[in-house]
C-alpha cells in the first residue's frame, strides 16, 4: 500500500486506503493545501489520428506531488476530494491550467490544431455554475471553445437527468466539445445515448487492453466503435499499448487513440517539445511503422 511503498513514483488505488479513516483524514488535510502549495500538476497525454498519424490533441491528467508519498494518481485522491467538496477548487485549477497551457502551445505552434480534454467528476458537474465557470476560463485564457472538450462518465450523467441535460446543453451552446469517458463500463441505454448532446465516445481501456487476448473483446470493441459512428460521434480508443491493438483499431475504423504506444502522460515541457518538433499533420512513429 501507499505508505510502505515509500518513494514509489506512482501509487495505484488500493481498497485499503479507502477503508482507513486516518489515511482519509491525512489526504483530506493535505489536499486542502495542495493547490496553494503548488503540489498539483497536469500531465498531457497525446491523442493521435490513427489514420494519418497526426497529433490532434491531448488529455490533461492530474497528479499530486505529495510531499511524503511521491506522485499520487487521481485514483487515490479524487474520491476523497469529491466527498469533502475540495474537488471544486481542484477542478477550477485544472480547467484554468489546462486551457492556459493549451493556448500557450497553440501560440508556439500556430499551424497545429490542438484540442485539450479535461476530466470532470460528478461533484464538479453537479455545480450549477459549471457552464459559467467554463465560459470565464475560456475568456481569461483566450482559448477557443472548440479547442476544449470536457470528459464525463456515464455515471455522472445518469444522476439528476434534467439538471444534467440542461448543463450539457448550455456547455454545448458555448461551443465546447463533450466526451463520454470510459464508455462500455456503465449502464447507459442506447436511447439515452442518442439523446445526449455528446460528440465523442471514449472506448474504455479495459476493452482495448484485452484486444487479442480474449475472443469477445474484438467484436465488442468493433460494436462500440460502430455504434459511436452511427450516433455521429468521434471515437477515441484509450490505452493503446501494442502495434497489434493499433492495427486492429485501424481495421475497424476507429479514428482516434491514445496510449503508451504513442506516449504516456507527459509533463508540459515534454509536451511542448513534442508539439514543437512535429510538422503539422506529421505521422507518429509507431503509425509510420504500422502503416
The residues binding Mg ion (CB under 5 A) are 119, 151, 181-182, 238
- Which of 78, 198, 275, 278 binds ligand C2E (CB under 6 A)? It is 78
CB of 86 to ligand C2E, least distance (A): 11
Q: Is 73 in the site for ligand C2E (CB under 6 A)?
A: yes
Among ligand C2E, Mg ion, none, the one that 49 touches (CB under a kind-dependent 5 to 8 A) is none
Three-state SS for 149? Answer: strand
- Which of 2, 17, 58, 61 binds ligand C2E (CB under 6 A)? It is 61
Q: Is 181 in the site for ligand C2E (CB under 6 A)?
A: yes
CB of 256 to ligand C2E, least distance (A): 14
Q: Is 45 in the site for ligand C2E (CB under 6 A)?
A: yes
The separation between CA 215 and the C-alpha centre of its own chain, rounded to angstroms, equals 28
Considering the complex, state which of residue 61 and residue 116 has its C-beta at the smaller distance from ligand C2E: 61
Q: Is 75 in the site for ligand C2E (CB under 6 A)?
A: yes
Considering the complex, state which of residue 76 and residue 279 has its C-beta at the smaller distance from ligand C2E: 76
- Show the DSSP H helices in the chain as ranges: 15-19, 21-34, 74-84, 87-108, 122-126, 130-141, 154-158, 161-174, 190-195, 205-209, 217-230, 243-251, 268-277, 285-290
Judged by phi (left if over 0) then psi (alpha if -120 to 50, else beta), residue 53 lies in left
Among ligand C2E, Mg ion, none, the one that 239 touches (CB under a kind-dependent 5 to 8 A) is ligand C2E
Considering the complex, state which of residue 86 and residue 238 has its C-beta at the smaller distance from Mg ion: 238
Q: Which three cell numbers stand for residue 38?
A: 503548488
Three-state SS for 180? Answer: strand
Among ligand C2E, Mg ion, none, the one that 73 touches (CB under a kind-dependent 5 to 8 A) is ligand C2E
**Site residues (CB under 6 A) for ligand C2E, limited to 223-282:** 238-239, 241, 259-260, 264-265
**Burial of 6 (C-beta count, 10 Å sphere; 0-12/13-18/19+):** exposed
Residue 109 has phi, psi (to 5 degrees) of: -130, 75
CB of 110 to ligand C2E, least distance (A): 27
Instruction: Annotate each residue in 111-150 with x if it binds ligand C2E (CB under 6 A) or - if it does not, as one string.
Output: --------xxx-----------------------------
Q: Which long-range contacts (CB under 8 A, 24 or more apart) does 75-81 make?
A: 75/12, 75/13, 76/2, 76/11, 76/12, 76/13, 76/14, 76/17, 76/27, 77/27, 77/31, 78/121, 79/18, 80/24, 80/27, 80/28, 80/31, 81/31
Q: Is 3 in the site for ligand C2E (CB under 6 A)?
A: no
What does the alpha-carbon distance between residue 50 and residue 236 come to, in Å, rounded to a whole number?
A: 9
Give the residues across from 45 on adjacent strands: 59
What does the alpha-carbon distance between residue 35 and residue 249 come to, in Å, rounded to a whole number?
A: 39
Considering the complex, state which of residue 193 and residue 208 has its C-beta at the smaller distance from ligand C2E: 208
Interacting residues with ligand C2E (CB under 6 A): 45, 60-62, 73-75, 78, 91, 94, 119-121, 151, 181-182, 205, 209, 238-239, 241, 259-260, 264-265
Amino acid at each position: 500500500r501507499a505508505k510502505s511503498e515509500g518513494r514509489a513514483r506512482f501509487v495505484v488505488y488500493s481498497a485499503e486506503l479507502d477503508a482507513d479513516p486516518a489515511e482519509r483524514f491525512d489526504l483530506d488535510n493535505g489536499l486542502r493545501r495542495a493547490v496553494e502549495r503548488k503540489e498539483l500538476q497536469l500531465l498531457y497525454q497525446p491523442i493521435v489520428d490513427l489514420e494519418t498519424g497526426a497529433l490532434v490533441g491531448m488529455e490533461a491528467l492530474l497528479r499530486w506531488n505529495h510531499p511524503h508519498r511521491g506522485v499520487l494518481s487521481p485514483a487515490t485522491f479524487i474520491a476523497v476530494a469529491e466527498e469533502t467538496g475540495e474537488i471544486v477548487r481542484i477542478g477550477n485549477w485544472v480547467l484554468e491550467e489546462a486551457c492556459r497551457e493549451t493556448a500557450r502551445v497553440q501560440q508556439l505552434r500556430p499551424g497545429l490544431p490542438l484540442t485539450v480534454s479535461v476530466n470532470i467528476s460528478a461533484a464538479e458537474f453537479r455545480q450549477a455554475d459549471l457552464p459559467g465557470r467554463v465560459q470565464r476560463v475560456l475568456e481569461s485564457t483566450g482559448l477557443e471553445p472548440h479547442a476544449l472538450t470536457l470528459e464525463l462518465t456515464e455515471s455522472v450523467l445518469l444522476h439528476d437527468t434534467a439538471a444534467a441535460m440542461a448543463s450539457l446543453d448550455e456547455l454545448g451552446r458555448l461551443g465546447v466539445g463533450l466526451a463520454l469517458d470510459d464508455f462500455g463500463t456503465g449502464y447507459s441505454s442506447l436511447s439515452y445515448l442518442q439523446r445526449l448532446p455528446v460528440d465523442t465516445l471514449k472506448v474504455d481501456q479495459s476493452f482495448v487492453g484485452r484486444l487479442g487476448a480474449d475472443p469477445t473483446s474484438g467484436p465488442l470493441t468493433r460494436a462500440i466503435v460502430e455504434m459511436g459512428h452511427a450516433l455521429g460521434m468521434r471515437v477515441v480508443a484509450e490505452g493503446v499499448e501494442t502495434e497489434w491493438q493499433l492495427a486492429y483499431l485501424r481495421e475497424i475504423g476507429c479514428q482516434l487513440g491514445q496510449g503508451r504506444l504513442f506516449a504516456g502522460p507527459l509533463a508540459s515541457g515534454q509536451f511542448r517539445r513534442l508539439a514543437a518538433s512535429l510538422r503539422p499533420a506529421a505521422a507518429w512513429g509507431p503509425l509510420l511503422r504500422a502503416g
